[in-house]
Amino acid sequence: MRLARTTALTLLLASTAALANPAPYREYTPMPFYEPNVAADTTNTYRYWRDPERLDESQLSGDNQWKLNWKFKDEPYNDSLHGGHIALDRGEALYQQLNAKGRFAKCLGAKDNDLRGLRANHYPQYNNDLKKVVGLEAMIEHCAAKEGMTLLNGSYDNSAVSVYIASFSAGMPLKVDVSKGPLKESYEKGMKLFHTRAGWTNFSCATCHTQIVGLKLRGQTPTTHFGDAAHWPTWRSKDELQSLHVRFTECNRNAGVQPLKIGSQEYTDLEVFLNALSNGYPVVAPSTRD
């Protein structure tokens, strides 16, 4: 009898606490069934843009151009020289300075100073020292601090180092395992956040990239979010080097949402989600887009 009274009292207290501190009300954009692979693109446009080497603008014209998902070849495009190449040179100089004793590369997870595949196969990752999931730019900030240099996540120099490191993965398909552990948790949180409505527009990320994809919005045509993470950081034609987290802040402002802190766990969860939806798509570095 005493156990029953104790259980009832516990349930009553829990119910009272829930009423006093209700979970915030949230609205969500309908969520499609996701597979963590670029080939699972929900807009059925992957067939047009799956091979970057054969991307042919003449395949589609007019209002169907968006189906090419020309993520790193938006006009004006010049493959021979753009701001991303300048950033790569800057990133190389900083990297050599940071890695003078080989500790920087080791901190990032490179074996024997070999950067090949580091971006494609190892980031985002769960870091045992930091006890959390991190992206490459977050680790660059962390490892640079160990060498006495401040490279804030989202800054030009941090992104430049990221571009340099990513260039050793250019052409390699992304591979992030979100089937278990902390990365699975981060992926699922990112998926939910991607579909959470917010701001005065009551938009979510998915509003543009699943509901009105292919339609006009402020003179632009939203494309699929599959394959999107493979070319960040990227050089924007408005003369700005942007990391993926910086792009998140820009999207937030455009949707009337207060941006979060660059490097926040919420943005990292989004980063994991979008990277998983780029699995199988090749890294592009340096890259450029509108």
The pLDDT tens digits for 69-80 are: 877 666 556 667
The pLDDT tens digits for 121-144 are: 999 999 999 999 999 999 999 999
- 156: containing domain: 83-169
**Residue 160 counted as domain residue:** yes
**187: Cβ contacts below 8 Å, ≥ 6 apart:** 36, 178, 269, 272, 273, 276
Report helix, strand or coil for 26: coil
**Residue 140 counted as domain residue:** yes
Of the candidates 275, 41, 268, the residue with the CA atom closest to the CA atom of residue 176: 275
Look at the chain and report how many structural domains it folds into: 1
Average pLDDT over residues 73-97: 85
pLDDT band of 261, cuts 50, 70, 90: very high
Question: Would you say residue 9 has pLDDT above 60?
Answer: no
Average pLDDT over residues 187-196: 96
Question: What CATH number is attached to the domain comprising 90?
Answer: 1.10.760.10
High-pLDDT (> 70) share of the chain, %: 89
pLDDT for residue 7: 54
Question: Would you say residue 113 has pLDDT above 90?
Answer: yes
Question: Would you say residue 156 has pLDDT above 50?
Answer: yes
CB 124 within 8 Å of CB 182: no
pLDDT for residue 239: 81
pLDDT for residue 158: 98
**Residue 69 counted as domain residue:** no
Question: Would you say residue 20 has pLDDT above 90?
Answer: no
pLDDT band of 3, cuts 50, 70, 90: very low
**Residue 201 counted as domain residue:** no
pLDDT for residue 233: 96
CB 260 within 8 Å of CB 252: yes
**Residue 15 counted as domain residue:** no
Which amino acid belongs to residue 284?
Answer: V
CB 206 within 8 Å of CB 31: yes
pLDDT band of 61, cuts 50, 70, 90: confident
Mean pLDDT for all residues in the chain = 88
Question: Would you say residue 2 has pLDDT above 70?
Answer: no
**Residue 246 counted as domain residue:** no
Question: Would you say residue 31 has pLDDT above 90?
Answer: no
**Residue 240 counted as domain residue:** no
The pLDDT tens digits for 198-257 are: 989 899 999 988 888 888 877 778 899 999 999 999 998 778 999 999 999 999 998 899
Which of 7-16, 116-125, 196-205 has maximum average pLDDT?
A: 116-125
pLDDT for residue 26: 77
High-pLDDT (> 90) share of the chain, %: 65
Which tokens go with 272?
Answer: 């994991």
Measure the CA angle with vertex 37, ends 40 and 29; round to 5°.
Answer: 60
Question: Would you say residue 19 has pLDDT above 60?
Answer: no
**Residue 221 counted as domain residue:** no
